[in-house]
């Protein structure tokens, strides 16, 4: 466990990767900035003009930054680039959050409080007491839970919601985990980072949150992303057991 601290809101940078989130991004930006946190949008060349909208917001608010990338290249690379940029901007607590309000921006302060209490990584978890999902079918919940259990079984991850994408990291934890070296490009990036954090002996805290359906726009989840996650977790688990990977 790291030493307890008291983080100033301006030292928190919330990283939001975007691709075609023009319908949500202004409201998300307002919700983040209303709490005093800084916002870093990593836009993958959204053809709907998301990046241009953030450029306008940033011109009026120096607490908003946009990192433009040429094309859609995967969640993992977007976050790796975002973490590097956020550290360059002086952030000491770096948060991950979706742009679609499936993560409640009001819960950011609870993740930051967990970091202040000594955690190196705070995960907004659907699957610890007090957490849950809103508007999900039993089938979708079962698939999500099964994915987490499979990752736990294959990799030895003792985290209830290793696939969660609502997180806070100490900046020195990010520097230790080297996200730029992660193999996963899709949502398996979250599993890979959780695994790396556990292997590194970092203090991981799960904070209960309610996960909701997006309010506007289209989901970026696809069969290909799910297949990549299963394939990578299976291979990592095989290497861990048979080849002695640690």
Predicted pLDDT of residue 246: 46
The topology (CATH level 3) of 10-241 is Spore Coat Polysaccharide Biosynthesis Protein SpsA; Chain A (3.90.550)
Helices 223-242 and 138-155 cross at an angle (nearest 10°) of 30
Predicted pLDDT of residue 186: 81
Give DSSP secondary structure letters for the chain. -PPP----GGGEEEEEEESS-TTTHHHHHHHHHTTT-EEEEEE---TTSHHHHHHHHHHH-TTEEEEE-SS---HHHHHHHHHHHHHHTT-SEEEE--SSSSS-GGGHHHHHHHHHTT-SEEEEESSSTT-EEES--HHHHHHHHHHHHHHHHHH----TTTT---EEEEHHHHHHH-GGG----STHHHHHHHHHHHHTT--EEEEE-EEE--SSS-----HHHHHHHHHHHHHHHHHHHHS---
Rounded to whole angstroms, the Cα distance separating 128 from 44 reads: 33
Predicted pLDDT of residue 136: 80
* Residue-range domain boundaries for the chain: 10-241
Predicted pLDDT of residue 243: 63
pLDDT lower than 70: segments of the chain:
1, 3-4, 214-226, 241-246
Predicted pLDDT of residue 141: 86
């Amino acid at each position: 466990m790291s030493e307890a601290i008291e983080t100033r809101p301006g030292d928190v940078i919330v990283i939001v990767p975007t691709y075609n989130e023009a319908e949500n991004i202004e409201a998300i930006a307002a919700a983040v900035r209303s709490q005093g946190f800084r916002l870093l949008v990593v836009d993958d060349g959204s053809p709907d003009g998301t990046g241009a909208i953030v450029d306008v917001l940033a011109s009026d608010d120096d607490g908003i930054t946009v990192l433009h990338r040429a094309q859609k290249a995967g969640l993992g690379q977007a976050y790796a680039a975002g973490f590097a940029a956020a550290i360059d901007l002086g952030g000491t607590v770096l948060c991950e959050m979706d742009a679609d309000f499936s993560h409640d921006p009001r819960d950011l302060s609870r993740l930051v409080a967990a970091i202040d209490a000594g955690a190196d990584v705070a995960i907004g978890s659907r699957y610890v007491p007090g957490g849950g999902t809103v508007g999900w079918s039993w089938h979708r919940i079962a698939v999500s839970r099964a994915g987490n259990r499979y990752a736990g079984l294959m990799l030895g991850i003792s985290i209830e919601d290793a696939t969660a994408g609502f997180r806070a990291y100490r900046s020195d934890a990010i520097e230790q985990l080297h996200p730029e070296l992660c193999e996963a490009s899709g949502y398996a990036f979250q599993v890979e980072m959780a695994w790396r954090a556990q292997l590194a002996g970092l203090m991981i805290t799960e904070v209960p949150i309610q996960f909701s359906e997006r309010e506007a726009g289209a989901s970026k989840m696809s069969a290909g992303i799910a297949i990549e996650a299963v394939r990578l977790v299976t291979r990592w688990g095989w290497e861990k057991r048979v080849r002695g990977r640690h």
